[in-house]
Amino acid sequence: MKNLSDRPPVNGISRKVRVPDLVRMKERGERIVMLTAYDATMTRLFDRAGSDLLLVGDSLGNVILGLDTTIPVTLEEIIHHTRAVARAASRALVVADMPFLTYQVTAEEAMRNAARLFQEGHAAAVKLEGGRPVADTVRRLTAAGLPVMGHVGLTPQHVHRLGGMRQQARNDESAQQLILDALALEDAGAFAVVLEAIPDAVAQAVTSRLKIPTIGIGAGPHCDGQVLVSYDVLGIFDTFVPPFVKQYAQLGEVIAKAARNYANDVRQGAFPQSVAPRRDRAPVRGLKRVLRDDAWSRQARAIA
């Protein structure tokens, strides 16, 4: 594996990506790349590919844990996966989702839970869903020096209130409310805002109003960056694929084929094959004699 210093710079950044780099990327018109990650092996691949941010999303509830929604995902589960991702990421900035009801009850509880994501999970930032209702909490976290990413539009933790996973800000009034939410998050100190499942024109309006970067998902091409669930990008998760997703591979089919081939080889006796002794290894002397020794066989059965 190459050292970070051996890799060509991406967007002019060959070192670890930091929060201030993202604002500079927006100012330079450089698009920000973000993917979800949940384990060390995939993290190394995404990091090597040049991802700027890796989100340990509560989407792990869907693609890892088999849940219907993200609501049951716990703080301990996010910490567990964040620790693995942070351990493997050498360049990308690691952002951890704060799960449902870990930041909405009180600002003090939000501070304690966010602190665990930084101290135990080794996250570099946390992400909260919601606009003005959570702005005070964002302000408290950022005042304490904790980097916070916002998330407005379709907020999956609010799926029941929203009536399903559907596009938001579809009329003038709701679009204006979303803009106010995004501005409130910026004013509270958020370093970036995810815009999910909103019309292109609304995302463009928000992006032009904010000094901080916007990261789109199902929000059109005018955001400062894009994020997708990695299992969607790779074609691994096939239970539901959002219409805005572009699948860059069909790894689900590749993995299933490999597993079938392995199973067939095992059942047909084609794997494993006998291996000739290596010349650089001393032979196991007396092995045939030991295996023929009835006394040894009786002793082995007695131990078992």
Active site residues: 196
147 to each of 4, 151, 189, how far by Cα in Å?
Answer: 24, 14, 8
Look up residue 19 and give its two tokens. Answer: 């929060």
Look up residue 195 and give its two tokens. Answer: 């815009």
Q: Collapsing DSSP states into helix, strand and coil, what is residue 87?
A: helix
300 to each of 187, 285, 287, 292, 296, how far by Cα in Å?
Answer: 73, 19, 15, 12, 6
Whole-angstrom distance, CA of residue 123 vs CA of residue 96: 6
Q: Give CB contacts under 8 A, 24+ apart, made by 106-109.
A: 107/136, 107/137, 107/140
Give the CA dihedral 296, 299, 300, 304, nearest 10 degrees: 170
Whole-angstrom distance, CA of residue 139 vs CA of residue 107: 9
